[in-house]
Chain A
């Protein structure tokens, strides 16, 4: 009997200790709390996890230098697993429990709508990284929560479709034939549709456009057709898991004219994929908004040093640079905001952003109260077998938001 009572008392003490550990002792220097929501174990984790790593090591560096305005920055990284339900629950945790000032990153496009709806309800700024689907981005009301630093894939403001059409315009002469394929998801279908319209406007001939289901093992139907049609350039709106086997199958069928892919293939996967190509691979082009890690710039070496100091899992890639610059944006906004900072104050300060990226993308990231996207710079690279690296095929070109806003809608 006594043993039972002792057992009950001990378990009560144990559980209350667990719950009391939740009470934190307030420091003299309270931290700024920023949340980062990403797909760290989801389907496309090798694309989204490096974003979070870039952001994390930049904030670790800032904290090592003494923080912002004398206060440290607490970064809470949570995993959305590419599932809408889980992303929404985790976003609720960040907003309600951890009381973050802003949420950065966001994951796969299908898991974003509930998070964006929730953030809008609570007035929390959302700075999307790699992909964003927010609509209220350009010509928006001041105080809108959406900010974008990467691909924006909302049908009203689709930067990627226009940019990739401009890529093709930059490397191929007018009148060339183009084939485009994409994932069979609604988001990729929109992209392909819009890109075809842009290309037709620019004077190119789109001879083949098709969707490929996401779980395909054998690409021979599409590969055979493309090899037969033999367009001058083939654009694949797909991730590395599909595009690399396609490139290899196309090479087998004898198609080695230009193939262009977006920056959905991080440098680590790209290097491994190139090793499997039998030829020299110089027909492969890769383009996006952030500079490739193959360009050895001083800013990139800085990122590499920080990654090695604070620990990382993925090799250096353009994704890290994206996260790094989001860190810079937050740092500048918080420095201007001072202490204490509220969510709406942070949004006001973010609307004055002007961050010099020092080569990580072609120009500065600029936000204004009515333009939460700003001008963006894009670049395309070609694989060079001699240097074993991606070398620029075209220099940075700038896209102003008004060139794309609400076209084709």
Chain B
């Protein structure tokens, strides 16, 4: 009976038979997954035509947050280097947008790569302590760098006389100007996709393998011949350049570069995103960014829907933030490894369903 079931099952697409098949990115390797991805892309394309500008705005915020979260996940999740200075690198990107874009008038498509370079240079400086310290102490030194950058930028902001933030005009790419949410949506979706594919590919190549080794046991990695100093600083440089780009785009999107936005609290919320999402996975960063950005808006919507007004609504504002904290607590208690882990478990559950696919060999009895 078992043989009959086994023979009639379809051939498993998960058993790869050639190297080029194996190297395809996991999201696209089987026909079923390709269909799912096509369906997902369809939803993403149709979304801005069906939703109001407000919802598209939320989607844009989620997109920018996921780019930044992917950068942080690269550093903390994959390479295992705790960095508490993430917000400062985003601030660098925002201010490079302000200085280069608004004051010197450089076009958008020049400023974004330049801000990545600025972020990379500061990332090099921030990465140097990783050669000497590790673990929590590395986090503290990046926190120190955060305060240094913030101090420098605040002095600059006062010096040029912009007390409340530097205003930035809508960016122009050629004849098109990115001013409505929908136009931004396309640009941001493409950037998220490019960033995700880039990071996935980096993780599958030599630096990625080096980071896995360093994360697990860096002493052993060094003995094996991996130059851990080079790869640690590389992780910092890559992560900070992407974070800087995310900050630059954010400043262009909100049309203002204001320093108080980029506080230690912002770093903490990004850390929460990657931990709730799942450390070390690109999909996890996107899911974590999705959840953490969306929950406050969802709570506002629920309060509106229940029709709460008057003095009770004043109390409800603090209840909203309390519920947000509670959701994170409950979530972490239930699944400390994050959303990506839940996703992996669901996926494995279906993949390992007994007799779903024809086994490679069928034992003859």
Asked if A330 is an interface residue, CB under 8 A from chain B, the answer is no
CB of A345 within 8 Å of the partner chain = no
Minimum CB–CB distance from B60 to chain A (whole Å) comes to: 10
Q: How far is the CA of A194 from the CA of B305 in the complex (A)?
A: 47
Residues of B within 8 A of A155 (CB): 161, 163
CB-defined contacts of B161 to chain A, threshold 8 Å: 155
Query: Which residues of B (252-266) have their CB < 8 Å from a CB of A?
Result: 254-256, 258, 260-261
Shortest A75–chain B CB gap in Å is 8
Asked whether A22 lies within 8 Å of B305 as measured between CB atoms, the reply is yes
> A114, B52: Cβ atoms under 8 Å?
no
A70 interface residue (CB < 8 Å to B): no
Contact B311 A109 (CB under 8 A): no
- Contact among B256, B300, B309 for A113, CB-based, below 8 A: B256
Chain B residues with CB below 8 A from A114, complex form: 165, 254-256, 258
**Which residues 45-61 of A sit at the B interface, judged by CB distance below 8 A?**
49, 52-53, 56, 60
CA distance A110 to B61 in the complex (A): 20
Given A77-B313, A88-B254, decide whether A41 and B164 contact each other with a Cβ distance below 8 A: no
Complex Cα spacing A192 to B161, Å: 14
A96 within 8 A of B: yes
Is the C-beta of B49 less than 8 angstroms from some C-beta in chain A? no
A90-124 near B? 1/0 per residue, CB < 8 Å: 10110011000000000001101110010000000
CB neighbours of B58 from chain A (8 A): 89
Contact A310-B254, Cβ < 8 Å, known A40-B317, A110-B164, A187-B163:
no
Chain A residues with CB under 8 Å of B311's CB are 53, 56, 310-313
Number of A-B contacts (CB under 8 A): 94
Q: State the CA gap A332–B296 with chains docked (Å).
A: 35
Using CB atoms, name the residue of chain B closest to A98. B304
Distance between B153 CB and nearest chain A CB, rounded to angstroms: 12
Task: Tell whether A18 is near chain B: CB-to-CB under 8 Å.
Answer: yes
Interface of B is mostly: helix
Inter-chain CA distance A52–B53, complex, in Å, is: 27
- Which residue of A has the minimal Cβ distance to B157? A186
How far in angstroms is the closest Cβ of chain A from B353?
A: 15
Q: Please tell me if the beta carbons of B158 and A186 are within 8 angstroms of each other in the complex.
A: yes
Establish whether residues A186 and B164, one from each chain, have CB atoms under 8 Å apart when the complex forms. yes
A79 an interface residue at 8 Å Cβ cutoff? yes
Q: Does A21 contact B (CB under 8 A)?
A: yes
Scoring A residues 281 to 298 as 1 if CB is less than 8 Å from chain B, else 0, what string do you get?
Answer: 000000000000000000
B154 contacts which chain A residues (CB < 8 A)?
Answer: 186
- Contact (Cβ within 8 A) B163 A186: yes
Q: Is the CB of A109 within 8 A of B313?
A: no
What residues of chain A lie closer than 8 Å to B165, measured between beta carbons?
84, 110, 113-114
A190 within 8 A of B: yes
Q: A18-B305, A92-B57, A109-B164 are in contact. Are A41 and B258 (CB under 8 A)?
A: no
- Residues of chain B lying within 8 A (CB to CB) of residue A41: 317-318, 321
CB within 8 Å for A40 and B314 given contacts A78-B300, A84-B165, A93-B300: yes
Smallest CB separation, A83 vs chain B (Å): 7
Q: Please tell me if B310 contacts chain A, counting CB pairs below 8 Å.
A: yes
Partner of B260, one of A21, A22, A79, A84: A84
Bound CA span A75–B314, Å = 13
Are B260 and A110 closer than 8 Å at their CB atoms? yes
Contact across chains for A84 and B321 when beta carbons are under 8 A apart: no
A257 at the interface (CB under 8 A from B): no
Q: Which residue of B lies closest to A96 (CB)?
A: B54
With a cutoff of 8 Å between Cβ atoms, the chain B residues found around residue A352 in the complex are none
| A189 in the interface (beta carbon within 8 A) | yes
Let me know if A236 is at the binding interface, CB within 8 A.
Answer: no
**At the interface, yes or no: B297 with Cβ under 8 Å from chain A?**
yes
Decide if A385 is an interface residue (CB 8 Å cutoff): no
Bound complex: CA of A22 vs CA of B304, how far in Å? 9
Closest B residue to A311 using CB positions: B311
Instruction: Report B158-191 CB contacts with A as 1/0, cut-off 8 Å.
Output: 1001111101000000000000000000000000
Cβ of A253 within 8 Å of any chain B Cβ, yes or no, is: no
Are A313 and B314 closer than 8 Å at their CB atoms? yes
Q: Is the CB of A85 within 8 A of B254?
A: yes
CB distance B167 to A79 under 8 Å?
no
Complex Cα spacing A79 to B303, Å: 12
Question: Is B255 within 8 A of A117, CB to CB?
Answer: yes
Q: Which of B54, B61, B158, B314 contacts A49 (CB 8 A)?
A: B314
Chain A residues near B164: list those with CB within 8 A: 109-110, 112-113, 133, 186-187
Q: Which of A296-311 contact B (CB under 8 A)?
A: 310-311
Q: How far is the CB of A311 from chain B (nearest CB, A)?
A: 3
Q: Which residue of B lies closest to A86 (CB)?
A: B296
Question: Cα distance A75–B158 when bound, in Å?
Answer: 37
Contact with A along B127-165 (1 / 0, CB 8 A): 000000000000000000000000000100110011111
A-B contacts, 29 listed (Cβ < 8 Å): A18-B305, A40-B314, A41-B318, A41-B321, A77-B313, A77-B314, A79-B317, A83-B260, A84-B165, A84-B256, A85-B254, A86-B296, A89-B58, A89-B61, A90-B300, A97-B52, A97-B54, A109-B163, A110-B260, A113-B165, A113-B256, A114-B254, A114-B255, A117-B256, A155-B163, A186-B157, A186-B164, A310-B310, A313-B314
Q: What residues make up the interface of A, taking CB atoms closer than 8 Å to B?
A: 18, 21-22, 40-41, 49, 52-53, 56, 60, 75, 77-79, 83-86, 88-90, 92-93, 96-97, 109-110, 112-114, 117, 133, 155, 186-187, 189-190, 310-313
Chain B: residues with CB nearer than 8 A to chain A? Answer: 52-54, 57-58, 61, 154, 157-158, 161-165, 167, 254-256, 258, 260-261, 296-297, 300, 305, 309-315, 317-318, 321
Please give 18 more A-B residue pairs, beta carbons under 8 A apart, in addition to A41-B321, A84-B258, A186-B157: A18-B305, A21-B305, A40-B317, A41-B317, A53-B311, A56-B310, A60-B310, A77-B314, A84-B256, A88-B254, A96-B52, A109-B164, A110-B260, A117-B255, A133-B164, A155-B163, A186-B164, A312-B311
Lowest 7 A-B CB distances belong to which pairs? A311-B311, A186-B163, A79-B317, A96-B54, A97-B54, A110-B260, A113-B165
